[in-house]
């Protein structure tokens, strides 16, 4: 009876992609029947985190950049950076053959939580966008009012004297006009018999009051001719100060943007003023952070299985193979150096043997030349001999 051998089915492209996201070795994992689905689940969690991070980064850059192409490119780049960090953390845990160690685990969790907290901010801003936009307008108005109050305070030393001068000029005109009206009214009363003299028509008293009325009118006209230019000049100065303040307000309004930091500030204002919103904000941040650390938690909580054992075995075999190759290479190098030394010694001995006669002839010639030289010393002979014989051999 023939036994049929079943070979494991070749994983499809999506499965391989999910395994890659889970930082798993496809060659080893394909032989582990009980581990395939678990690593598919880890891959899906990494994929969700990747998409979530890309979306969050996209919204973050949309608050500071207006070009859609730039926003898309930056979102994809930073989303892939978060994906790389997640895969690195999972891969580092997969290579731990000695079980979980508390310090590396805490370090990886801190990294994952930090990334999750940062990514949660753009998502929260997107969820509370309408409320945040309303609060942004209120914050802008509050800042503008505070800026206007500051301008009034800064210009008080220059504006208050001008306003006081304008007010005094107007009051002088009002007082003089009231005086003219008083004299006119008394004159009319004297002419119609209701005045102090009780006579009708222009009596002597009426004529005196008429002169006082006419004199007051002349003084009013003279005062108007004097005060009007002064008032006009003061009004021009006040209008100029108002224009300068208006330009400052326009420039300040340009700094009140709807950027990321302004939205964060508006969100904090909302959470401070509305305690129920603060609780929901914290809950959303917790859920988003949990999504970010979900791949790492999945890997931590997953018990060691067949894949981990095979991976550890392959890693151990690889290390042993590398160590053996290193030892063999070292031994071969030592053997090569020893053989090269022996060969060099033999070559040197052969050279000295073949050149013995030649060196004797050269030595005889050198000694004869030394004998024929007056004042020569033995040290000079030895130096020339080394230079002639050893120098040529080397």
Domain residue ranges of the chain, discontinuous segments joined by +: 13-127+275-303, 135-258, 318-393
Exposure string of 365-379, with b = 16+ CB inside 10 Å and e = fewer, is: ebeeebeeeeeeeee
Contacting residues for 222 by C-beta, under 8 A, at least 6 apart: none
Confidence of residue 160 (pLDDT cuts 50, 70, 90): confident
- pLDDT, one tens digit per residue, over 129-151 is 888 888 888 888 888 888 888 87
Q: Which residue has the higher pLDDT, 311 or 87?
A: 87
Among 42-46, 86-90, 353-357, the range of highest mean pLDDT: 42-46
Cα 365 from Cα 357, distance rounded (Å): 13
CA 313-316-319 angle, to 5 degrees, is 150
pLDDT at 394 over 50: no
pLDDT for 5:
47
pLDDT at 92 over 60: yes
pLDDT at 330 over 80: yes
Q: Which residue has the higher pLDDT, 383 or 391?
A: 383
Confidence of residue 104 (pLDDT cuts 50, 70, 90): low
pLDDT at 103 over 70: no
- Coil, strand or helix: which one is 312? helix
Confidence of residue 77 (pLDDT cuts 50, 70, 90): very high
Confidence of residue 102 (pLDDT cuts 50, 70, 90): low
State the pTM of this model: 0.53
Tally Cβ neighbours within 10 Å of residue 93.
Answer: 19
Cα 56 from Cα 61, distance rounded (Å): 9
Q: Which helix (H) or strand (E) holds 361?
A: helix 356-372
CA 21-27-33 angle, to 5 degrees, is 90
Cα 247 from Cα 136, distance rounded (Å): 22
Q: What is the mean pLDDT of the chain?
A: 77
Cα 311 from Cα 40, distance rounded (Å): 17
pLDDT for 39:
83
- pLDDT, one tens digit per residue, over 176-203 is 788 778 877 777 776 766 665 556 666 6
**Exposed, middle or buried by CB within 10 Å (0-12, 13-18, 19+), for 54?**
buried
């Amino acid at each position: 009876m023939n036994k049929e051998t079943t070979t494991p089915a070749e994983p499809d492209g999506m499965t391989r992609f999910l395994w890659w996201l889970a930082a798993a070795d496809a060659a080893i994992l394909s032989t582990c029947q009980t581990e395939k689905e678990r690593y598919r689940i880890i891959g899906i969690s990494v994929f969700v985190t990747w998409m979530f991070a890309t979306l969050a980064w996209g919204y973050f850059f949309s608050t500071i950049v207006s070009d859609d192409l730039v926003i898309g490119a930056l979102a994809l780049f930073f989303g892939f950076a978060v994906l790389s960090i997640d895969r690195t953390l999972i891969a580092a845990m997969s290579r731990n053959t000695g079980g979980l160690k508390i310090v590396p685990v805490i370090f990886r969790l801190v990294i994952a939580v930090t990334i999750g907290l940062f990514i949660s901010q753009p998502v929260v801003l997107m969820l509370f966008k309408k409320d945040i936009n309303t609060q942004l307008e209120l914050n802008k108005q509050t800042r503008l009012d505070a800026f206007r109050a500051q301008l009034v305070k800064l210009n008080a030393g220059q504006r208050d004297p001008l306003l006081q001068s304008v007010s005094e000029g107007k009051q002088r005109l009002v007082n003089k006009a009231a005086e003219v009206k008083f004299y006119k009214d008394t004159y009319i009363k004297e002419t119609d018999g209701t005045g102090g003299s009780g006579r009708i028509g222009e009596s002597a008293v009426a004529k005196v009051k008429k002169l006082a009325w006419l004199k007051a009118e002349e003084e009013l006209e003279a005062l108007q001719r004097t005060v009007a230019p002064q008032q006009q000049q003061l009004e021009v100065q006040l209008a100029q100060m108002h224009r300068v303040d208006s330009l400052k307000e326009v420039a300040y309004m340009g700094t009140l943007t709807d950027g990321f930091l302004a939205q964060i500030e508006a969100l904090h204002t909302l959470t401070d003023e509305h305690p129920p919103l603060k609780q929901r904000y914290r809950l959303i941040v917790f859920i988003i952070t949990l999504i970010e650390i979900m791949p790492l938690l999945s890997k931590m909580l997953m018990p060691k299985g067949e894949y981990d054992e095979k991976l550890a075995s392959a890693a151990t075999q690889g290390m042993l193979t590398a160590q053996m190759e290193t030892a063999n290479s070292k031994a071969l190098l030592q053997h090569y150096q020893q053989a090269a030394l022996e060969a060099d010694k033999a070559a040197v001995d052969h050279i000295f043997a073949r050149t013995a006669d030649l060196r004797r002839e050269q030595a005889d010639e050198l000694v004869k030349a030394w004998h024929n030289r007056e004042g020569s010393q033995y040290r000079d002979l030895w130096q020339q001999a080394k230079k002639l014989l050893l120098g040529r051999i080397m």
